[in-house]
Each structure stands twice: as C-alpha cells, then as structure tokens.
C-alpha cells in the first residue's frame, strides 16, 4: 500500500488528527480529548426514529460516562443547522437536552473513518472507542435498522479501564460471567516454571495453568 493511501484507523492505532465542525464549535480530534476517553459514534441521519431513541439513550447515560472520564461525540452526514433543529425538536418534544457535541459532515469524515459502507451516502451506526492517549481501542458497527445497546457501550468503557489499571482481561459477559462471576482473567503464564507454580500456589483460582482468575481488590 502506498504511503499516501488513507485507510480507516484500526484497533491499536492512533486516531487520525482532524478538525471537525460541531454543534458546540470546532474541535481538534483526538487532541482536544487528551487525557479522556472518547466515544465517537455515527448515526444515519437527523430526524429519524431510531437515531432519536439513540440520542436519548446516550444523554440519559451521559453522567455515567462523565464519571468514567468519558466524553461523547455524535456524527452524521448532515450540516450543523440540521443538527441544531433536530436537537431542538428532541428538547421540545421529549424534554431531553442533548449536551454533547454532534459533528457536521459532508461525507468526507465518514469515508475517512469507514462510517459509510457499500454504495450508501449516509452512515451506518458506528462506534469508535478512543482512549486517553488517542488510540483506537474498539470499533462497533450496526446497521440502520438496529439500534445500539448503550449499556454495552458503558460496560466496554468500564472493562477497558479495569483491564488497563490491573493488567487483566475480562471474561465473557463481565461482570456477570457464567463460570467466574465478576472476577477477572489473569494473563496466561509465559514460562514452564510459571505454569507449574500457578497450579501449586493459591494466589489465583485456576481451572488450569492457562485459565486463572481472581477478584479485584
């Protein structure tokens, strides 16, 4: 691939630097969110029913995201005046004040980030999880007909922060895993001696040397 060919940022890569125009002014991404987590999400269009329910769901959880040092930012291929009018409609008719910024896009940002799929002109329901260093940690895609699970987005932010702080991995459905509940997975042993030691001591609970878990302190 030639160096001048752009592709979407992948998990583990730095989010590309860009300036975006939003309902709350111009932001420089990801630099303006340095030291914070950012959930950047696209919606297919303003004044659409599923997207309206999603914005309400995000706003209802906004305080929870902020407690996790996480900011929200929306995006669609609409201009600022459309975003403003739609957010006014939500406030006037649903009594919900959308407090996070929404990016206005002519399609160039969405194409750069892989938010437009196939021959469509509007975006899928994409979610980028960007950590405090500006690194992409996860990407989710949903089709237009399926609204997102916002409790899962919150769960993922919590899980990333626990994993980073304690250097552990999270089991399926954490914190309600079917075999280890709310405990976390210890990284596998990397030497023969360490593997043998895991089965002798009681530092962790182990099903085998490669599957050990523990409670968070």
Active site residues: 51
Q: In sequence order, what DSSP letters do the residues of 125-182 get, joined into one string?
A: EEEEEE-TTSBEEEEEEE-TTS---HHHHHHHHHHHHHHHHHT-B--TTTTSBTTTBT
Q: In b/e form, how buried is each residue of 68-103, taking b as 16+ CB within 10 angstroms?
A: bebbbbbbbbbeeebbeebbeebeeeeebebebbbb
Residue pair 76/45 in contact by the 8 Å Cβ criterion: yes
- Which tokens go with 139? 């990407």
- Which tokens go with 117? 């799929």
């Amino acid at each position: 691939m030639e160096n001048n060919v752009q592709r979407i940022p992948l998990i583990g890569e730095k989010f590309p630097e860009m300036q975006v125009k939003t309902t709350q002014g111009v932001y420089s991404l990801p630099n303006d969110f340095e030291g914070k987590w950012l959930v950047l999400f696209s919606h297919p269009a303003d004044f659409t029913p599923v997207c309206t329910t999603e914005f309400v769901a995000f706003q209802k959880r906004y305080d929870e995201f902020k407690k996790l040092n996480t900011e929200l930012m929306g995006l669609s291929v609409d201009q600022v005046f459309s975003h403003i009018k739609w957010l006014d409609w939500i406030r006037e008719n649903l009594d919900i004040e959308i407090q996070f910024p929404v990016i206005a896009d002519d399609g160039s940002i969405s194409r750069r980030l892989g938010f437009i799929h196939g021959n469509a002109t509007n975006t899928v329901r994409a979610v980028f999880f960007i950590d405090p260093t500006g690194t992409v940690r996860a990407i989710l895609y949903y089709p237009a007909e399926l609204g997102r699970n916002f409790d899962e987005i919150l769960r993922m932010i919590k899980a990333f922060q626990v994993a980073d702080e304690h250097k552990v991995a999270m089991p399926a459905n954490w914190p309600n895993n079917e075999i280890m509940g709310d405990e976390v997975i210890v990284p596998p042993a990397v030497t023969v001696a360490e593997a043998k030691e895991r089965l002798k001591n009681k530092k962790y609970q182990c099903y085998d040397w490669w599957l050990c878990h523990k409670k968070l302190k």
